[in-house]
Structure 1
Amino acid sequence: MAAPTRADAPTADPAAEPADYSLTVSPDRAGPAIDRTMYGVFFEDINNAADGGLYAELVQNRSFEFSTVDNRSYTPLTGWQQTATGGATGTVQVVNDTERLNERNRNHLRLGLAGTGGAGAGFGVVNSGYGAGMALREGARYDFSVWARTDSATGTRLTAELRTTDGTTVSAPLAVTVRGDRWTKYTGTLTAKVSTTGGRLAVTAEGGGTVRLDMVSLFPRDTYKGRANGLRKDLAEKIAALKPGFVRFPGGCLVNTGSHQAYEAPDFERRRSYQWKDTIGPVEQRAVNANFWGYHQSYGLGYYEYFQFAEDVGAMPLPVVPALVTGCGENKATDDPALLRRHIQDTLDLIEFANGPVTSTWGRKRAEMGHPKPFGLTHLGVGNEENLPDQFFARFTEFRKAIKATYPDITVVSNSGPDDAGTTFDRAWQLNREARVDMVDEHYYNSPQWFLENNDRYDSYDRQGPKVFLGEYASRDNRFSNALSEAAFMTGLERNADIVKLASYAPLLADVRQNQWRPDMIWFDNQRSWGSTSYEVQKLFMNNTGDRVVPSRASTTPAISGPITGAVGLSTWATSAAYDDVRVTAADGSTLLAEDFSAGDFRWTRATGRGTWSVQDGAYVQSDAAAEDTLVTAGDTGWHDYDLRVKATKKSGKEGFLVAFGVRDSGNHYWWNLGGWGNTRSAVEKTVGGGKETITENGTTIQTGRTYDLHVQVRGRQVTLFLDGQKWGGFTDDKAAEPFRQVVTRDKGDLVVKVVNAQATPARTRIDLGTSKVAPTARMTTLQGAPDAVHTADEQPVQPRESTLRGIARNFTYTFPAHSVTFLRIKAG
Structure 2
Amino acid sequence: MHKILHTSFLLFVWNVCTAQGPTIIVDAAKTGAPVSKELHGIFFEEISHGGEGGLYAELIQNRGFEESRIPEGCTLDSGFIIPPRTPHFGSEKVSDWKMPFEAKSDYPAWTLTTGGGATGKISLDLSDPLYKENPRSLKVEVTRLGKTGKVAVVNEGFWGINVQQGETYALTFYTRTQNYTGNITARLVGGDGKTLGEKVFENVNSKDWKKLTATLRADATDAKATFQLSFSKPGKVWLDFVSLFPTKTFKGRQNGLRADLAQYLADLKPAFVRWPGGCFVEGISTQSAPNWKRSLGPVEQRSGTYSPWGYWSSDGLGYHEFLQFCEDIGAKAMYVFNCGVACEMRSGVYVEDKDVTPIITDILHAIEYAIGPKESEWGALRAKNGHPEPFPLHYVEVGNEQVGEKYAKRFNVFYDAIKARYPQLQVVAAMGIAHLSKPTIATISKMDMADEHAYKAAGWAMAYADWYDKYERKDWKLYVGEYACNSGVGTGNMTAALNDATFILGMERNSDLITMSSYAPLLENVHDTDWPVNLIRFDEAKSFARISYYTIKMLNENKATVNLATNVNVPVDASKPFFEGGIGLSTWDTQAEYKDIEIVKDGNVLYKSESLKGQDWNFEGGEWSAQNNMLTQTKDGPWPLAVLKEKSFDRYVLKLKARKTGGYNAFMIPFAFRDNQNYLRAHIGAWLNKVAAFETVTKGADAIVSQPVRLEKPVELNRWYDIELRVNNTNVECFLDGKLLMMYTKPLDFFGIAGRDEQTHEVVIKLVNATNTSRKVSLRINNTSLESNGKAIVISSSSPDDENSFEQPRQFVPQEDVVRNVASEFEYSCKPWSTTVLRLKEKR
TM-score range, shorter chain: 0.7 to 0.9
Which residue in the other structure is 1:218 paired with? 244
Structure 2 counterpart of 1:793, from 806, 820, 826: 806
1:578-612 deviation digits (Å, cap 9, x = unpaired): 83544465699x9966999xx9x7666454xxx78
For the 8 Å contact 1:55–1:230, the answer to whether it is kept is yes
1:548-581 deviation digits (Å, cap 9, x = unpaired): 2233322233276988986445566xxxx78354
2:127 is matched by which residue type in structure 1? T
Which residue in the other structure is 2:5 paired with? none
Which residue in the other structure is 1:822 paired with? 836
Higher alpha-carbon deviation: 542-551 or 370-379 = 542-551
1:101 is matched by which residue type in structure 2? L
1:813 is matched by which residue type in structure 2? E
Asked if 1:453 corresponds to 2:463, the answer is yes
1:144 is matched by which residue type in structure 2? L
Higher alpha-carbon deviation: 679-688 or 354-363 = 679-688
Which residue in the other structure is 2:65 paired with? 64
Higher alpha-carbon deviation: 795-804 or 311-320 = 795-804
Structure 1 counterpart of 2:317, from 278, 297, 301: 301
Q: Residue 55 of structure 1 aligns to a residue in which SS? A: coil
Structure 1 pair 550–710 and aligned structure 2 pair: CA distance change class (3 A): same
For the 8 Å contact 2:791–2:816, the answer to whether it is kept is yes
1:130 is matched by which residue type in structure 2? F
Distance in 2, Cα, partners of 1:170 & 1:782: 44
Which residue in the other structure is 2:557 paired with? 543
Structure 1 counterpart of 2:818, from 801, 804, 818: 804
Q: Residue 170 of structure 1 aligns to a residue in which SS? A: strand
For the 8 Å contact 2:102–2:311, the answer to whether it is kept is no
Which residue in the other structure is 1:267 paired with? none
The percentage of counterpart residues that share the same residue type is 29
1:518 is matched by which residue type in structure 2? P
Q: CA deviation at 1:142?
A: 0.5
Structure 1 pair 516–419 and aligned structure 2 pair: CA distance change class (3 A): same
Q: CA RMSD in A?
A: 3.8
Which residue in the other structure is 2:169 paired with? 142
Asked if 1:25 corresponds to 2:51, the answer is no
Q: CA deviation at 1:687?
A: 3.2
1:774 is matched by which residue type in structure 2? L
Higher alpha-carbon deviation: 47-56 or 20-29 = 20-29
Q: Residue 545 of structure 1 aligns to a residue in which SS? A: coil
1:792 is matched by which residue type in structure 2? S
Which residue in the other structure is 1:510 paired with? 524
Q: CA deviation at 1:747?
A: 4.8
Structure 1 counterpart of 2:451, from 441, 448, 456: 441
For the 8 Å contact 1:163–1:170, the answer to whether it is kept is yes
Please list, as runs of the form range in 1=range in 2, the aligned pairs for 1:50-129 lying within 5 A after superposition: 50-67=51-68, 69=81, 71-72=101-102, 74-84=104-114, 88-95=118-125, 97-114=126-143, 116-118=145-147, 123-129=151-157
Q: Residue 31 of structure 1 aligns to a residue in which SS? A: strand
1:702-746 deviation digits (Å, cap 9, x = unpaired): 9xxx98879695555566899xxxx9x976544844423232231
Q: Residue 405 of structure 1 aligns to a residue in which SS? A: helix
Which residue in the other structure is 1:268 paired with? none
Distance in 2, Cα, partners of 1:17 & 1:733: 19
Q: CA deviation at 1:29?
A: 3.0
Asked if 1:397 corresponds to 2:426, the answer is no
Q: CA deviation at 1:441?
A: 0.9
Asked if 1:760 corresponds to 2:772, the answer is yes
For the 8 Å contact 1:674–1:682, the answer to whether it is kept is yes
Q: Residue 206 of structure 2 aligns to a residue in which SS? A: coil
Structure 1 pair 335–193 and aligned structure 2 pair: CA distance change class (3 A): closer
Which residue in the other structure is 2:473 paired with? 463
Q: Residue 380 of structure 2 aligns to a residue in which SS? A: helix
Distance in 2, Cα, partners of 1:697 & 1:301: 47
Distance in 2, Cα, partners of 1:698 & 1:230: 54
For the 8 Å contact 2:683–2:695, the answer to whether it is kept is no
Distance in 2, Cα, partners of 1:732 & 1:612: 28
Structure 1 pair 235–648 and aligned structure 2 pair: CA distance change class (3 A): farther
Q: Residue 472 of structure 2 aligns to a residue in which SS? A: coil
Q: CA deviation at 1:166?
A: 2.8
1:58-97 deviation digits (Å, cap 9, x = unpaired): 11222222336573453233222212466543211123x2
1:109-135 deviation digits (Å, cap 9, x = unpaired): 10012253239x65221111122x111
Q: CA deviation at 1:165?
A: 1.7
Q: CA deviation at 1:546?
A: 3.3
Distance in 2, Cα, partners of 1:211 & 1:427: 60
Which residue in the other structure is 1:740 paired with? 751
For the 8 Å contact 2:35–2:509, the answer to whether it is kept is no
Distance in 2, Cα, partners of 1:819 & 1:123: 58
Q: Residue 172 of structure 1 aligns to a residue in which SS? A: strand
For the 8 Å contact 2:622–2:633, the answer to whether it is kept is no
Distance in 1, Cα, partners of 2:689 & 2:170: 50
Q: CA deviation at 1:40?
A: 0.9
Q: CA deviation at 1:36?
A: 2.3
Structure 1 pair 685–147 and aligned structure 2 pair: CA distance change class (3 A): farther
Structure 1 pair 233–552 and aligned structure 2 pair: CA distance change class (3 A): same
Asked if 1:529 corresponds to 2:558, the answer is no
Structure 1 pair 333–71 and aligned structure 2 pair: CA distance change class (3 A): closer
Distance in 1, Cα, partners of 2:320 & 2:242: 21
Please list, as runs of the form range in 1=range in 2, the aligned pairs for 1:562-641 lying within 5 A after superposition: 567-570=583-586, 579=591, 581-583=593-595, 585=597, 605=618, 607=620, 631-635=640-644, 638=649, 641=654
1:134 is matched by which residue type in structure 2? I
Distance in 2, Cα, partners of 1:74 & 1:62: 16
1:777 is matched by which residue type in structure 2? N
Please list, as runs of the form range in 1=range in 2, the aligned pairs for 1:684-763 lying within 5 A after superposition: 686-690=695-699, 691-694=701-704, 696=708, 713=723, 715-716=725-726, 717=732, 732-734=743-745, 736-751=747-762, 752-763=764-775
Structure 1 pair 762–612 and aligned structure 2 pair: CA distance change class (3 A): closer
2:698 is matched by which residue type in structure 1? G
Q: CA deviation at 1:637?
A: 6.7
Q: CA deviation at 1:813?
A: 1.9
For the 8 Å contact 1:109–1:212, the answer to whether it is kept is yes
Structure 1 pair 247–200 and aligned structure 2 pair: CA distance change class (3 A): same
2:409 is matched by which residue type in structure 1? A
1:237 is matched by which residue type in structure 2? Q
2:458 is matched by which residue type in structure 1? P
1:499-539 deviation digits (Å, cap 9, x = unpaired): 11001111111122320222221111111111111111011
Distance in 2, Cα, partners of 1:125 & 1:379: 45
Which residue in the other structure is 2:357 paired with? 341
TM-score scaled to structure 2, two decimals? 0.82
Higher alpha-carbon deviation: 545-554 or 708-717 = 708-717
Which residue in the other structure is 2:95 paired with? none
Which residue in the other structure is 2:787 paired with? 775
Which residue in the other structure is 1:7 paired with? none
Distance in 2, Cα, partners of 1:552 & 1:454: 18
Structure 1 pair 713–143 and aligned structure 2 pair: CA distance change class (3 A): farther
Distance in 2, Cα, partners of 1:55 & 1:593: 63
Which residue in the other structure is 1:653 paired with? none
Which residue in the other structure is 1:4 paired with? none
Which residue in the other structure is 1:661 paired with? 669
Count residues in correspondence: 765
TM-score scaled to structure 1, two decimals? 0.83
1:286-337 deviation digits (Å, cap 9, x = unpaired): 2233321233322222222221111111111112122344556337363513
Q: Residue 437 of structure 2 aligns to a residue in which SS? A: helix
Structure 1 pair 340–602 and aligned structure 2 pair: CA distance change class (3 A): farther
For the 8 Å contact 2:592–2:667, the answer to whether it is kept is no
Q: Give the unaligned 5+ runs of structure 2.
A: 1-13, 69-78, 82-99, 727-731
For the 8 Å contact 1:646–1:710, the answer to whether it is kept is yes
Distance in 2, Cα, partners of 1:231 & 1:680: 50
For the 8 Å contact 2:580–2:648, the answer to whether it is kept is no
